[in-house]
């Protein structure tokens, strides 16, 4: 059965800390891996990763995919209170369907 597992489930840090969120997957016909940020309502898109070893970066956020070991990490450096959210990892197969992990809830305190 296809599955996507995120860890940790929950994380509490102070502003300025660096965090690493993990996403492992077992999915047939893998096509791409996506990261979303969900604050209160609509998840917003962060990254799409299709190739191993190529880091994608946006400001303080970066992500990389390892297709051999079947995982991805999302790094956030110098965290801010505005980074508090649920971070969702999803895998796209060679179909139009995404499989989501349970998410990691990040809380950043001043």
Contacting residues toward another protein, per CB under 8 A = 4, 6, 9, 31-32, 34, 36, 41-45, 48, 50, 88, 90, 92-98, 100-103
Closer CB to another protein, residue 50 or residue 75? 50
Instruction: Quote the least distance from Cβ 100 to another protein, whole Å.
Output: 4
Instruction: Quote the least distance from Cβ 55 to another protein, whole Å.
Output: 18
Instruction: Quote the least distance from Cβ 26 to another protein, whole Å.
Output: 15
Cβ atoms of 34 and 43 within 8 Å: the answer is no
Give how far Cα 50 sits from Cα of 53, 56, 64, 71, Å.
Answer: 10, 10, 9, 12
Closer CB to another protein, residue 19 or residue 49? 49
Residues facing 73 on adjacent strands: 22, 64
Residues 36 and 58: their CA atoms lie apart, in Å, by 13
Residue 16: DSSP 8-state: T
Closer CB to another protein, residue 5 or residue 78? 5
């Amino acid at each position: 059965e296809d599955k996507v597992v995120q860890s940790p489930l929950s994380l509490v840090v102070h502003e300025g800390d660096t965090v690493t969120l993990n996403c492992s997957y077992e999915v047939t016909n893998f096509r791409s891996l996506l990261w979303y940020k969900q604050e209160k309502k609509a998840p917003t898109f962060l990254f799409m990763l299709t190739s191993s070893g190529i880091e994608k970066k946006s400001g303080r956020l970066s992500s990389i995919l390892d297709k051999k070991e079947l995982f991805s990490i999302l790094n956030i450096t110098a965290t801010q209170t505005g980074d508090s959210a649920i971070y969702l990892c999803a895998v796209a197969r060679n179909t139009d369907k995404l499989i989501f992990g349970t998410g990691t809830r990040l809380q950043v305190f001043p």
